[in-house]
Amino acid sequence: MAKKTVNNDVLLANIIKGIEEVKGNDISILDLREIDAAVCDYFIVCNGNSNTQVNAIVGSIQKTVSKELKDKPWHVEGTDNAEWVLMDYVHIVVHVFQKHIREYYNIESLWGDAKITTIENKY
């Protein structure tokens, strides 16, 4: 059976909702669609304050997307130490960092040609 195609805008909205429900910080959306060698359409980057919160964000995203869209990530890695968890939804890749790890890797600067949208914290 073929994998159901999920609308990117709806998936983005549900991922953001999952992050916000457990107070993930500094949410950025990187639009990579205009970049030739991009591996996907969007990166969503956020951070938590501890490995416990990083794993809570990952769990909340999975729960929200599964409940609303009946979809799950193609691949997830990094949950063992929860410093940088990557969730691959094929067209959208989510990076959930601990703050110091995010600052170290500075993924936004690596994709400097991307259009970046920052989501204001709601709390």
Our count of domains for the chain comes to 1
Ranges of beta strands (E only) in the chain are 25-31, 42-48, 75-77, 84-88, 92-98, 115-119
State residue 3's pLDDT score: 47
How do the pLDDT tens digits run along the chain, 123 residues long? 444 556 999 999 999 999 999 999 999 999 999 998 899 999 999 999 999 999 999 999 999 999 999 999 999 999 999 999 999 999 999 999 999 999 999 999 999 899 999 998 766
Write the CATH number for 110: 3.30.460.10
User: Which domain, by its residues, includes 51?
Assistant: 4-119
- C-alpha distance from residue 81 to each of 55, 84, 98 (Å): 9, 8, 10
